[in-house]
Structure 1
Amino acid sequence: MVVVGAGPTGLLLAGDLAEAGIPVTLVERRHAGLSNLSRALVVHATTLEAFDARGIAADLIAKGAPVQSLRLFDTAVVDVSELPTPYPYLLVVPQYETEAVLQARLDRLGVRIRYQTEVVDLRQDADGVTLTVQDADGTREERAAYVVGTDGHNSSIRRLLGVPFPGHTVVASVMLVDAVLTDPPSLRIATNTDGDKFAFVAPFKDGYHRIIAWDQSHPKAESEPVDLAEVREILHATLGTDFGMGEPRWSSRFHSDERQAERYRVGRVFLAGDAAHTHSPAGGQGMNTGLLDVANLSWKLAAVLRGRAGEALLDTYESERYPVGTAVIKGSGRLLRAAQIKVTPARKLRNAAMHFALQRPAVNHRLGLALSGLWIKYWAPIGAHELTGHRAGDVPLAGTPARLFEAMRGGGFVLLAPEDLHKTATEAGVKAAVPTDGGPVRLVRPDGFIAWAADAPSAEEAGLAIGAAGA
């Protein structure tokens, strides 16, 4: 296996493959060392659940600042503290800290990143993929059974495949600033807009705050340095104060596109993360969506490479994740367009409507589910149990381990069932545990979704389900 791109998405995928016993090569164009960028700053509940199942959630939480509510459009407040997850908050943490946690896992698994290595050509046949790579030692060819491009929105793998990436730029000249605020917002996350101008403020754990700001009436080239006077002006115009913003430790400009690759799989080559989809920063979905892409893909690749499933299983990566990418692009786009309303009466109406709607618990809850990714459900065949395709959640278990996410560590499926079905699971090479929630028998995939469920299955039925799932 070759993974191209060592951002968060590639780091998670390489770690999953290595933990499953699959030899993996991870290549990266940039120089050695973690990225000093921190463009992504929010880790949502679904990602923390995935990290928990890998035993690394606590490491990341220790580096971040949990935030349970955020202010949208003047007085409208989204409260995520009641979400159905062990992590009912947004974790504000710089991207480089997320990368550091994922890198530490790779180090423990013995996976090395080959830096300053670029893929310049790609050919595939029925048996594998041949990559032409350039590094400090020159140009050579490498062979792999499968290749995954996690190499960002300018993906060389997507370009070499010839996969179209249709879409357009939705925000130009977005400014990012990490600075200390002497008078931070009372709500830990604050955001507002006056149409052309937009501002977002969120705290890091180390005392710094992330500020995202733009003024679409005066866009500047991405090559221009960030103008702190302009950032302060935008903060005053949208939030009424610059919060005593000091000199930044880091700042940058970028533009934001809404794009989605027309295909996520071409033969033995896959696209994931920003190589497959990009969208506006509204909602903080980008990195999270990419991480969940590879959580879905990694166990399927491992199952096929170990001979436990056929090639058809790999087609379900695109069929499951493409609709999620589409939904995230649409959802972040709706938030962005709401933020870009320029006419003052319309903005006042938007603010009042959002304030009123979010005072209703059901509406607040639905928006929280949308932001966190907890809404995701995968397709289930006709006649399947109603839980099939849903998140399993962190089910309490009898004995040790005491909860599902702990039982999932190390990879593999978990059968939640009475003890009389455990022999069936063991014979099939699947972990088994007794749930204490009174629910039905559930076969939980390595990505935390339910592959199969039944109220009172026989051992034979459970065995057939395990085999059919590629466990």
Structure 2
Amino acid sequence: MEQHLDTDVLVVGAGPTGMLLAGDLAAAGLRVTLIERRPHGISNITRAFAVHARTLEQFDARGLADDLIATGSPITGLRLFRRLSLDLSRLPSRFPYLLITPQYEVEKLLEHRAMSTGVEFRYGTELRTLSQDTDDVTARLTGPDGTPVTLRARYLVGADGVRSAVRTALGLPFPGISVIRSIVLADVRLANEPEELLTVNGTGDAFAFIAPFGDGWYRVMGWDRTRQVPDSEPVDLDEIRDIARRALGSDYGMHDARWISRFHSDERQAPAYRSGRVFLAGDAAHVHSPAGGQGMNTGLQDAANLSWKLAAVLRGDAPDPETLLDSYHAERHPVGAAVLRSSGAIIRLAMARGPLTRAARALAAHLLNALPAASAKAMGMISGIGIAYGREGRRVPDLTLREGRLYELLRESRFVLIAPEGAQPVLPPTAPVSPARLVRATWTDPARRTALLVRPDGYVSWTGRANR
């Protein structure tokens, strides 16, 4: 018998992006349903290991950063191509490092939070079709026992990965190219522990990456220019050992592989992140090479950008709902395009073969090592710290205020209005915040005479003079 359900927001895809978004919306008091094709259970077959500084700041704004940090290991330096060194300890953040932790740790934390805030999870459930009108989205689903389900939602978000059923149902193209083919992956034990926590290097014909799970297992990724075969071609540990020896100088005594796979990596981006009442986020909106470890982080930051906007509209806090919702695409699509360019540049430099491209790689490494401003810009892009949405969309660091740290005050998806003591700033009528959702805070410096309204995602919403 067919089921009929109603919700405020239907989120499709229970990966990191979907679970962060769903948890935010439920924490804001909304009815949220999250569906996932997989049966219940977090898989340890994961490709993401890097959590960057800006993502940790977003976790901090939800009270989750310390718990996530406890699952991994921070590294303050990145070395690429054995020439380029990036000193992450110079990042202007409370988290001046890269956290190495497997994606399943991120997912476990976000799943627990989403469940605790009241998200309704429906595992083993697939989206079949969707339609929308001026008021709602109607999604037709299939439950785990084959039962048809019709669900009406005010809005729907597709966070269902590179083969997004939501994007397909919308008829949106996903233009791009396969940037690197025949990547091999394995989870292995190592007889010899690498000197660095994150081991990565590329030669003319081989590229390899090793990261720890933290429990004695290691993820190894490799690519061999001379062996470009279909994803269906068998792969064994000897092939991965050979790639590692050529790219890294050692295979570190790899043994006892529990999982081996072959895949390819694309560079693709949807032309629109919004279609009426339906949105795309994470890999459903953009995919790129794994270089730089930006994939999961970009998706999580998509979710942080979209969640407070949907919440403001659904609560009736937005004076201009359509403009606010359109700003999701306007702000995040350029970021996705920039990540495609930066990750693509890294992987192409790693795969440099000819004398000209190798010379370009050497020059790029030299300039980044020698020029602090260039190095800071590169680290800002990779870490997410340098992302801004125009002058009024600048990232706000974790300021120390009289009431406490800014990112603690941002919790529960609230705006923070910072002003001098005793001042009563008048917010513009377009500010998408109600007094009930506003936290007031005070500068510690009495000489500051300005007012600053900070969005729930930690970016500037408005600045002005503070009138007493």
Greater mean deviation of Cα atoms: 259-268 or 202-211: 202-211
Distance 1:458 1:176 in 2: 59
1:14 alignment partner, SS class:
helix
Q: Is 2:180 aligned against 1:171?
A: yes
Distance 1:249 1:420 in 2: 63
Aligned ranges for residues 73-92 of structure 1 at < 5 Å?
73-92=81-100
Mapped contact 1:170–1:280 kept (Cα < 8 A): yes
Mapped contact 1:408–1:414 kept (Cα < 8 A): yes
The structure 1 residue matched to 2:267, chosen from 247, 258, 266, is 258
Distance 1:427 1:313 in 2: 15
Mapped contact 1:40–1:95 kept (Cα < 8 A): yes
1:62 aligns to what? 70
Q: How many angstroms does 1:409 deviate by?
A: 1.1
2:295 aligns to what? 286
Q: How many angstroms does 1:25 deviate by?
A: 0.5
Q: How many angstroms does 1:355 deviate by?
A: 4.2
Mapped contact 1:69–1:189 kept (Cα < 8 A): no
Aligned ranges for residues 125-140 of structure 1 at < 5 Å?
125-135=133-143, 136-140=145-149
Q: Is 2:40 aligned against 1:36?
A: no
Of Structure 1 and Structure 2, the greater strand share is in 2
1:247 alignment partner, SS class:
strand
Partner AA of 1:297 in structure 2: L
Q: Is 2:362 aligned against 1:351?
A: yes
1:428 aligns to what? 435
1:462 aligns to what? none
Q: How many angstroms does 1:253 deviate by?
A: 2.3
2:19 aligns to what? 11
2:282 aligns to what? 273
Mapped contact 1:77–1:355 kept (Cα < 8 A): no
Mapped contact 1:422–1:433 kept (Cα < 8 A): no
The structure 1 residue matched to 2:167, chosen from 152, 158, 161, is 158
Give the direction of change, closer, same or farther, for the CA distance of 1:303–1:244 in structure 2 (3 Å limit): same
Mapped contact 1:69–1:188 kept (Cα < 8 A): no
The structure 2 residue matched to 1:120, chosen from 120, 128, 133, is 128
Distance 1:327 1:65 in 2: 27
Aligned ranges for residues 5-404 of structure 1 at < 5 Å?
5-135=13-143, 136-309=145-318, 310-343=321-354, 346-347=357-358, 350-351=361-362, 353-355=364-366, 357-380=368-391, 388-399=392-403, 402-404=404-406
Cα shift readout 1:40-77 (whole Å, capped 9, x = no counterpart):
11010110000000001111100011111121112322
Cα shift readout 1:277-305 (whole Å, capped 9, x = no counterpart):
00011111111001100100000001010
Greater mean deviation of Cα atoms: 24-33 or 431-440: 431-440
2:187 alignment partner, SS class:
strand
1:91 alignment partner, SS class:
strand
1:383 aligns to what? none
Mapped contact 2:425–2:451 kept (Cα < 8 A): no
1:412 aligns to what? 414
Mapped contact 1:128–1:144 kept (Cα < 8 A): yes
Give the direction of change, closer, same or farther, for the CA distance of 1:56–1:33 in structure 2 (3 Å limit): same
Mapped contact 2:317–2:434 kept (Cα < 8 A): no
Partner AA of 1:398 in structure 2: R
TM superposition score normalised by structure 2: 0.91
Give the direction of change, closer, same or farther, for the CA distance of 1:232–1:359 in structure 2 (3 Å limit): farther
1:334 alignment partner, SS class:
helix
Q: Which runs of 5+ in 1 are unaligned?
A: 381-387, 460-471
Distance 2:426 2:242 in 1: 66
Partner AA of 2:245 in structure 1: H
Q: How many angstroms does 1:108 deviate by?
A: 1.5
Greater mean deviation of Cα atoms: 207-216 or 12-21: 207-216
Mapped contact 1:70–1:188 kept (Cα < 8 A): no
Q: How many angstroms does 1:238 deviate by?
A: 1.4
Distance 1:92 1:141 in 2: 41
1:442 aligns to what? 452
Distance 2:370 2:416 in 1: 39
Give the direction of change, closer, same or farther, for the CA distance of 1:360–1:205 in structure 2 (3 Å limit): farther
Give the direction of change, closer, same or farther, for the CA distance of 1:26–1:421 in structure 2 (3 Å limit): farther
Greater mean deviation of Cα atoms: 164-173 or 357-366: 357-366
Q: Which runs of 5+ in 2 are unaligned?
A: 1-8, 428-432
Partner AA of 2:453 in structure 1: L
Mapped contact 2:424–2:467 kept (Cα < 8 A): no
1:371 alignment partner, SS class:
helix
Distance 2:75 2:416 in 1: 31
Mapped contact 2:349–2:357 kept (Cα < 8 A): no
1:469 aligns to what? none
Mapped contact 1:74–1:351 kept (Cα < 8 A): no
Give the direction of change, closer, same or farther, for the CA distance of 1:345–1:271 in structure 2 (3 Å limit): closer
Partner AA of 1:371 in structure 2: I
RMSD, aligned α-carbons: 2.0
Cα shift readout 1:376-427 (whole Å, capped 9, x = no counterpart):
11134xxxxxxx211111010114xx20111111111011112324697998
Q: How many angstroms does 1:225 deviate by?
A: 4.6
Distance 1:406 1:157 in 2: 34
